Amino acid sequence: MGDAGNGLAELLALLKNRVGCRADIRIGAGLYKGHYASLLEHVEEDGAIGLAHPLRKGGLLPVYRDLVFSVYFEHERAPLLARVVALRSDLSRSLPILWARCFGDFERVQRRRFLRVSCLLRTSFFNLDREEASPLREIWRQGKILDVSLGGARLQYAGDRAITKDEHCVFVLPLPEGVFHMIGKVVWLPPSKEPGQHEMGVEFDFLPRLVEKHLQEFIRQQELVKR
């Protein structure tokens, strides 16, 4: 699943350049077992890291001192998987911080591990590359969002194949708090299961903080419904 045997010093060196990146906190047992979206906010020399405190049901997730859990950190090569132990919660800042300490080896995971939740949202998308090649000839196409994560979404649409791998599109992401237009790159095109039915995996080029906040809450709610 990944490359293990990497030391703590190497992990901290990598994380220092990743402050602000998305993270996926995974608690493996107990009352609050599950996946929780977060952000890497601080990296200290002694191995302590500050994470945006995860939320649950609109409030802060209770995380007790000495709880051991895993964190996946976003990275362009491959997500980094680290083991950490909880130290304390800092509620004195405008953004509550969960402090934890990394320990042991880490892994470079070969597959994206951000929590992906199923949904069924109406969408439309527009092929930016075709529009650039032939101005004013491209059209909006209707479809559905089948699942979504903080890294991207899986879309389904009918008709002719409208986009190819590595092309870029803009698509509509309807969330309870508003409708957002997202830009992403097509990174996955599976074979069609039925004639004229197509799916594509789109990776976000950029996730604005406001959209990220609303998308985090949507993912949490979908996960709670699934449970």
- Distance in angstroms (rounded) separating the CA atoms of residues 130 and 200: 16
Average pLDDT, the chain: 87
**Residue 63: which of 34, 21, 41 has the closest Cα?**
34
pLDDT of residue 87 exceeding 80, the answer is yes
Q: Which of 66, 81, 109 is the last residue of a domain?
A: 109
- Distance in angstroms (rounded) separating the CA atoms of residues 79 and 82: 10
CATH of the domain at 139: 2.40.10.220
- Distance in angstroms (rounded) separating the CA atoms of residues 211 and 69: 27
The reply to whether 102 and 154 lie within a common domain is: no
CATH of the domain at 13: 2.30.110.10
Most confident of 57-66, 124-133, 205-214: 124-133
Residue range 66-84, pLDDT digits in tens: 999 999 888 766 778 899 9
Q: Which of 90, 109, 128 is the last residue of a domain?
A: 109
The answer to whether 106 and 11 have CB atoms below 8 angstroms apart is: yes
pLDDT of residue 4 exceeding 50, the answer is no
The reply to whether 6 and 99 lie within a common domain is: yes
- Extended strands (E) in 44-140: 48-52, 55-56, 59-60, 68-73, 80-90, 97-109, 117-127
The reply to whether 94 and 155 lie within a common domain is: no
* Residue 195 parent element (H or E): none
**Residue 171: which of 149, 142, 131 has the closest Cα?**
142
Most confident of 13-17, 93-97, 116-120, 168-172: 168-172
The reply to whether 79 and 22 lie within a common domain is: yes
Dihedral pair phi/psi, residue 33, rounded to 5°: -55, 135
What pLDDT was estimated at residue 207?
84
Longest dimension (CA), the chain: 59
The reply to whether 136 and 215 lie within a common domain is: yes
What pLDDT was estimated at residue 175?
96
Give residue 8's domain range.
2-109
What pLDDT was estimated at residue 159?
94
- Distance in angstroms (rounded) separating the CA atoms of residues 178 and 190: 30
Look at 82-86, 112-116, 137-141 and tell me which has the smallest mean pLDDT: 112-116
The structural domain count of the chain equals 2
**Non-local CB neighbours of 76 within 8 Å, separated by 6+ positions:** none
What pLDDT was estimated at residue 226?
64
Most confident of 14-23, 49-58, 118-127: 118-127
The reply to whether 17 and 104 lie within a common domain is: yes
What pLDDT was estimated at residue 1?
42
pLDDT of residue 227 exceeding 90, the answer is no
Q: How far is CA 220 from CA 23, 38, 43, 83, in A?
A: 14, 11, 26, 22
What pLDDT was estimated at residue 215?
93
What pLDDT was estimated at residue 6?
62
The reply to whether 50 and 20 lie within a common domain is: yes
Length of the chain: 227
Mean pLDDT of 97-126: 84
The reply to whether 90 and 142 lie within a common domain is: no
What pLDDT was estimated at residue 144?
97
SS3 32: coil
Most confident of 2-6, 30-34, 142-146, 217-221: 142-146
What pLDDT was estimated at residue 33?
83
Q: Which of 57, 81, 109 is the last residue of a domain?
A: 109
The reply to whether 98 and 15 lie within a common domain is: yes
Residue range 11-34, pLDDT digits in tens: 899 999 889 888 889 888 888 888
The reply to whether 157 and 196 lie within a common domain is: yes
Q: How far is CA 145 from CA 99, 116, 119, 142, in A?
A: 35, 12, 7, 10
The reply to whether 71 and 18 lie within a common domain is: yes
The reply to whether 136 and 47 lie within a common domain is: no
